[in-house]
Chains A and B, each alone.
Chain A
């Protein structure tokens, strides 16, 4: 088969793209290593599977060459698509109706206002059943407020450092006051998605009121002003809220200090080993020390308390499911479908057809008992019970009645 010398490929040129096509066409038989990449991953020298365009994509991953009708494993139609245009422009009113999102600086917040006191009443009526008194949780749905907002000397909210394997028995509290970065999110989410079972039912004033109430529960101070019962929240004031954990997130997607947010993200994901954890391709005699001291040898940890409330219950059996009675058709019709329909659905086979009331009228002149007797014993071209010997005589009688009745109904 064709062999490809990967080392001769110059990244980013059309020659590379053409090689990519060949690589695909021959079923990836290339065997030489892209040594630099392989070495850093500790691999034993496996070639890249597909032609790579970019090893430093924003997510830390690769992107693939897309050229000359080949994109990684796929072929594509390389004819020009520029000029394909369907649909129509959005009207100004349509954009205004749908473009109601908000940004952290308050952009997009609507007119309106609501007080902490009004929010209290609304919260009790529409929110507390799920999110608990004062937003404190306890009903299985997210806790919204509470938690200790104090910070350590580095400005980190202390509760967020709780790790339930290294001595801490408390979970980190992730509430509006301890965790959420911006308050505009709270307004938008309540307006668009709450109350849970009746979303988009609150007026903007009501949303401001509930937002005010929740921020007040967490002791948020806006522009030096405490949120007392009569505090009235509006767009201008909400835009000024600085939540305690505003700076608790990274990478920096806001480009603070004039940095490029996109490059911040790219740099963060490029450094996987220290930022999000990365493995090594050790093959023999591997040690895996861990623990808070970085020395404790790993051991086998079994399930302590198994989560076994599973629905439907576990089973890999290939058996019949519990029978669900089909009430849409009678038992007689079901037996007819299974055993008689083949011949009696039409007169092609010389049998009286269901629906042909004229023929059935002639048959029934003999009387029901005689007809059933013939059906059980067989008659003419029809074998006894139509060959279905597992039918009882009563079954046959029920089927005959069904056939006669159906014929009448269809007539």
Chain B
């Protein structure tokens, strides 16, 4: 038996004992932090030396690539057979643990992942990027050559247009992570495509760009030139380090604010043409069937959206007592521009108050919102509703359903509702008819 592990076992037993012995006292203490200190039991975590304070820690470079604390082992991506074909996890999605995140940057190991033919592992020495078609000069770049171009960094969200797709017909998942975890936000670094194209020379008849991946699915999509020249990038870094395999190492396309599917991973080729290509992932998939029986194609921007991350089913208010002042917070984002504000409702959308934005407020990036709330131990129907500088306001379930129906799969951005019961437990519900 591992000595270290034994010690930890003993420590956890004593913590259990602590809670047993102090249960009644804690209840008294919970009334107020001003309760007379004489009523309180002494906390053994304070009264005794700790293991880590009485022994050597591990060596400075034991983990040349650092790891989270072993106590954080539950902070991981999660998936479900529903997010795959027949439970096959090569063409599937794993979800970001939004409930455990802080700020607007997602650690690279927690970034949601969608693959159509498994995660490709590309040898960067064999990576080649070809740009051709309706350009005056074609080009083949190695990774090192691409990195020679002037770089820019942008904090941008990345969202699968299927985020929330399981819930068109009603709530299905009992967690924030599975409800909305098909997204992340990172600082991405790479080269603006306009810089490269400026030198290659786009021909006037070039209207569309095909972006093609080199993985087994040869994932490809068509984008209009206007977007390509406005803000598209060839990115090779996320949060300061190389892209993870799961995010398209060594190079993926970044189309800020647009479907993550358009941000083609494991990029291999860009071709410029005068007509759209009708690749598979822009015809049989990634088109949104609406109630009329026709489907929206070339669906680009992820619409303005928001969700409350605290409280949520994984992080309920069960430890609160009446009168506690607590922060409600969440994430808002819009692929159309910058979040202007977020409103919060406590009664399922009948009345709203304005929340406050906090931290960086950036275009096409996660934006945190915050509202201080005095907890009353009463049932609530908590909602958030975002609006952006492109005049979008997040729709209700009914407003969205009325226009697009419930079979579209993609681009679901209806206002989300958490039901908070009298015990402070949180569950996933929808306000709809």
Q: Which residues of A contact B (CB under 8 A)?
A: 28, 37, 40-44, 46, 48-50, 52, 55, 57-64, 72-74, 76-77, 81-90, 94-95, 98-99, 101-104, 130, 139-142, 152, 156-158, 160-165, 171-172, 174, 176, 179-182, 184-185, 188-189, 192-193, 196, 199-200, 248-251, 253-254, 261-262, 265, 268-269, 272-286, 288-291, 294, 296-312, 314-321, 323, 325, 331, 334-335, 338, 342, 390-391, 395
Chain A residues contacting B389 (CB-CB under 8 Å) are 37, 48-50, 52, 62
Chain B residues contacting A334 (CB-CB under 8 Å) are 2
Within 8 A of A (CB), among B1-26: 2-5, 7-8, 12
Contact B363 A44 (CB under 8 A): no
Q: Tell me the nearest residue of chain A to B301, going by C-beta.
A: A59
Contact B5 A98 (CB under 8 A): no
Chain B residues contacting A254 (CB-CB under 8 Å) are 275-276
Chain A residues contacting B82 (CB-CB under 8 Å) are 307, 309
Contact B217 A199 (CB under 8 A): yes
Docked Cα-Cα span, A326 to B295, in Å, equals 54
Contact A41 B393 (CB under 8 A): yes
Q: Known A249-B297, A320-B70; judge A180-B284 contact (CB<8 A).
A: yes
Chain B residues contacting A286 (CB-CB under 8 Å) are 349-352
Task: Tell me whether B150 is interfacial, beta carbon within 8 Å.
Answer: yes
Extra A-B contacts (8), CB below 8 Å, given A160-B294, A164-B406: A40-B391, A58-B300, A61-B335, A189-B280, A253-B298, A279-B399, A296-B433, A310-B79
Docked Cα-Cα span, A89 to B199, in Å, equals 12
Chain B residues contacting A52 (CB-CB under 8 Å) are 337, 389
Which of A40, A82, A338: most chain B Cβ within 10 A?
Answer: A338
Main secondary structure of the interface of A (DSSP, over half): loop
- Report which of B81, B195, B220 forms a contact with A101, defined as CB distance below 8 A: B220
Contact A185 B280 (CB under 8 A): yes
Task: Tell me whether B341 is interfacial, beta carbon within 8 Å.
Answer: yes
19 A–B contact pairs at CB < 8 A? A55-B391, A57-B227, A58-B226, A63-B230, A63-B231, A84-B199, A86-B146, A95-B132, A158-B293, A160-B293, A163-B291, A171-B407, A181-B278, A188-B279, A251-B297, A300-B417, A300-B431, A331-B2, A338-B4
Q: Tell me the nearest residue of chain B to A303, going by C-beta.
A: B171
Contact B149 A265 (CB under 8 A): no
Chain B residues contacting A165 (CB-CB under 8 Å) are 169, 401, 406
- Report which of B133, B218, B431 forms a contact with A199, defined as CB distance below 8 A: B218
Least Cβ–Cβ distance between A47 and chain B, in angstroms: 8
Contact B73 A277 (CB under 8 A): no
Chain A residues contacting B177 (CB-CB under 8 Å) are 314
Q: B209-234: contact bitstring with A at CB < 8 Å (1 yes, 0 no)?
A: 01010001110100010110011000
Within 8 A of A (CB), among B350-383: 350-354, 360-363, 381
Task: Tell me whether B340 is interfacial, beta carbon within 8 Å.
Answer: yes
Q: Known A84-B195, A276-B404, A323-B2; judge A37-B336 contact (CB<8 A).
A: no
Q: Tell me the nearest residue of chain B to A162, going by C-beta.
A: B407
- Report which of B2, B276, B398, B432 forms a contact with A261, defined as CB distance below 8 A: B276
- Report which of A72, A139, A172, A323 forms a contact with B362, defined as CB distance below 8 A: A72
Docked Cα-Cα span, A298 to B340, in Å, equals 27
Least Cβ–Cβ distance between B270 and chain A, in angstroms: 11
Contact B294 A156 (CB under 8 A): yes
Chain B residues contacting A316 (CB-CB under 8 Å) are 74, 99-100, 314-315
Contact B350 A89 (CB under 8 A): no
Docked Cα-Cα span, A390 to B7, in Å, equals 10
The 5 closest A-B pairs by CB, nearest first: A140-B86, A290-B398, A61-B336, A192-B218, A277-B400
Contact B139 A94 (CB under 8 A): no
Docked Cα-Cα span, A353 to B92, in Å, equals 53
Task: Tell me whether B123 is interfacial, beta carbon within 8 Å.
Answer: no
Contact A300 B381 (CB under 8 A): yes
- Report which of A28, A46, A162, A262 forms a contact with B207, defined as CB distance below 8 A: A262
Docked Cα-Cα span, A371 to B292, in Å, equals 87
Chain A residues contacting B265 (CB-CB under 8 Å) are none
B37-45, B322-330, B422-430: which lies at the interface: B422-430
Docked Cα-Cα span, A55 to B390, in Å, equals 7
Docked Cα-Cα span, A305 to B139, in Å, equals 53
Chain B residues contacting A60 (CB-CB under 8 Å) are 301, 336, 390
Chain B residues contacting A88 (CB-CB under 8 Å) are 139-140
Q: B75-86: contact bitstring with A at CB < 8 Å (1 yes, 0 no)?
A: 010111110011
Chain A residues contacting B171 (CB-CB under 8 Å) are 301-303
Least Cβ–Cβ distance between B226 and chain A, in angstroms: 5
Least Cβ–Cβ distance between B156 and chain A, in angstroms: 11
Docked Cα-Cα span, A265 to B407, in Å, equals 22
Contact A103 B298 (CB under 8 A): no
Interface size counted on chain B using CB atoms at 8 A: 153
Q: Tell me the nearest residue of chain A to B142, going by C-beta.
A: A87
Which of B287, B362, B363, B429: most chain A Cβ within 10 A?
Answer: B363
Least Cβ–Cβ distance between A62 and chain B, in angstroms: 4
- A-B Cβ contacts below 8 A, count: 422
Chain B residues contacting A156 (CB-CB under 8 Å) are 292-294
Docked Cα-Cα span, A77 to B152, in Å, equals 9
Docked Cα-Cα span, A290 to B349, in Å, equals 14
Task: Tell me whether B246 is interfacial, beta carbon within 8 Å.
Answer: no
Contact A72 B431 (CB under 8 A): no
Which of B73, B82, B220, B339: most chain A Cβ within 10 A?
Answer: B73
Contact B292 A49 (CB under 8 A): no
Contact A250 B433 (CB under 8 A): no
Contact B284 A185 (CB under 8 A): yes
Least Cβ–Cβ distance between B290 and chain A, in angstroms: 8
Least Cβ–Cβ distance between B300 and chain A, in angstroms: 4
Contact B293 A180 (CB under 8 A): no
Task: Tell me whether B71 is interfacial, beta carbon within 8 Å.
Answer: yes
Contact A279 B385 (CB under 8 A): yes
Docked Cα-Cα span, A99 to B133, in Å, equals 9
Q: Known A278-B399, A288-B399; judge A310-B80 contact (CB<8 A).
A: yes
Task: Tell me whether B394 is interfacial, beta carbon within 8 Å.
Answer: yes
Docked Cα-Cα span, A85 to B138, in Å, equals 12
Chain B residues contacting A188 (CB-CB under 8 Å) are 279-280
Contact B361 A319 (CB under 8 A): no
Docked Cα-Cα span, A276 to B269, in Å, equals 32
Docked Cα-Cα span, A116 to B128, in Å, equals 37
Contact A299 B336 (CB under 8 A): no
Contact B427 A303 (CB under 8 A): yes
Least Cβ–Cβ distance between A214 and chain B, in angstroms: 12
Task: Tell me whether B166 is interfacial, beta carbon within 8 Å.
Answer: yes
Docked Cα-Cα span, A310 to B176, in Å, equals 13
Q: Tell me the nearest residue of chain A to B415, going by C-beta.
A: A279
Q: Known A89-B140, A140-B87, A162-B407; judge A57-B170 contact (CB<8 A).
A: no
Docked Cα-Cα span, A301 to B429, in Å, equals 6
Chain A residues contacting B133 (CB-CB under 8 Å) are 99
Docked Cα-Cα span, A325 to B73, in Å, equals 16
Chain B residues contacting A182 (CB-CB under 8 Å) are 278, 283
Which of B3, B82, B137, B394: most chain A Cβ within 10 A?
Answer: B3
Docked Cα-Cα span, A334 to B58, in Å, equals 12
Least Cβ–Cβ distance between B400 and chain A, in angstroms: 4
Q: Known A288-B398, A307-B178; judge A283-B279 contact (CB<8 A).
A: no
Within 8 A of A (CB), among B60-108: 70-74, 76, 78-82, 85-88, 90-91, 99-100
Task: Tell me whether B50 is interfacial, beta carbon within 8 Å.
Answer: no
Contact A282 B352 (CB under 8 A): yes
- Report which of B5, B173, B403, B406 forms a contact with A163, defined as CB distance below 8 A: B406
